[in-house]
Amino acid sequence: IIRQLWPYAGHYVKDLCKYSIEPSIRTALEDYKLSGFQFEKIILGDTPPRLSGVKVYDDTSRHEIIMDMDVAYAGDCKFEVSVSKFKMGIKDLRICGKMRVVMKPLVKQIPLVGGLQVFFLNNPDVDFNLIGLADVFDMPGLSDILRSIVTDQIGMMMVLPNRFPIQLVEDIDVVELKCPLPAGVIRIHVIEAHNLMKKDIGIMGMGKSDPYCILHLGAQKFQTKTINNTINPKWDFCCEFLTDDIRGQEIDIELFDQDDGLAKDEFLGRQPEKWNIEISNWNFYEPLYIATTPVNLLASCIPWVVDEGSPLSEDRPSKLPVDINILLGKTN
């Protein structure tokens, strides 16, 4: 079906790139003193994305259908773009991620579904190659800048809590389709870390780091302050993430050493695997100390506290608020 529909999707993709994505990328590139970005040519190609691992949930509301799938695109599309005085091409575009399709509300008339919500649960992996630059040294780091901006634009369009709505029936609540209420909030308290790697090595072989922490949940991102000259930072940083549905979402926590000037910040570590929000999948590691408080807005607000160090029992009601200390991610 997708192979048959793919050639017809090209017209829609051209309009989407020209009237939605192009202005956003142009504005973002202006922060890097790069002006006038525009698509010169858009060729979608003949290779459609591949869908696999389709899963349909059966524990949902009677008025909706929720379906997850793995999406992988490594097609033969080609884009010709111009920015400042340079013209270049983008090819070998690769996008891979977990996508969710929510069909709601279910209605009595054909097509039986009032609308669709399409979105990635977490930021997809995006990669591409730049071609056609006469002298790549004229614009150092352009590929990394574009890759970061493209990833951010995808996140703003269709990575939770953002979603791409498709209205199928006229007499439905469009606001509910485009901007549904969140199911909950996860409050994270980043406390401290111990024995991080020494990235800033001095002449005498002694050194420390200037660590900070970045937290991702879908398109939402928070960053702690930087603690200078230490491998045992204490951030005492709190942030709150909105959640649509804990099933399938993951919190990604990374640590970096901040470097001055044009040098790229050095990677210090991350938790061994992305942390699934579901209580039954939480793990304990050292030495990054994180305190979390997930609160389901659709459930009771009676507090439920798990003592530090006690095991997590699978028969406990996961829909109630929980306050627990979590140790995540070896970094040394």
pLDDT reported for residue 174: 79
Can you give 300-323 as a three-state secondary structure string? CCCCCECCCCCCCCCCCCCCCCCE
Note the Cα 43 to chain centre separation in Å.
26
CATH of the domain at 216: 2.60.40.150
Given 178, 207, 238, which residue is the final one in a domain?
Answer: 178
DSSP string, 166-212: EE-STTS-HHHHHSPPPSEEEEEEEEE--S----EE-TTS-EE--EE
In this structure, which amino acid lies at residue 19? Y
Total of domains in the chain = 2
pLDDT reported for residue 309: 34
Distance CA 307, CA 287 (A): 19
- SS3 category, 154: helix
pTM: 0.75
Lowest mean pLDDT of 1-10, 137-146, 166-175, 313-322, name the range.
313-322
Do both 159 and 195 map to the same domain? no
Distance CA 165, CA 41 (A): 27
Residue percentage of the chain with pLDDT more than 90? 17
278: pLDDT strictly greater than 50: no
Lowest mean pLDDT of 21-35, 113-127, 199-213, name the range.
199-213
Is 227 in contact with 211 (CB distance < 8 Å)? yes
Given 160, 178, 196, which residue is the final one in a domain?
Answer: 178
Given 163, 178, 193, which residue is the final one in a domain?
Answer: 178
pLDDT in tens, 167-210: 999 888 878 888 887 777 888 888 888 888 887 765 554 668 88
In this structure, which amino acid lies at residue 99? M
pLDDT reported for residue 209: 87
Do both 280 and 148 map to the same domain? no
Q: What is the mean pLDDT of the chain?
A: 76
Q: Domain residues for 31? A: 2-178
Tokens describing residue 269: 């570590």
pLDDT reported for residue 103: 94
pLDDT reported for residue 202: 58
User: Between residues 130 and 202, which one has the greater pLDDT?
Assistant: 130
**In sequence order, what are the residues at sequence separation of 6 or more whose Cβ sits closer than 8 angstroms to the Cβ of residue 148?**
none
Distance CA 172, CA 170 (A): 6
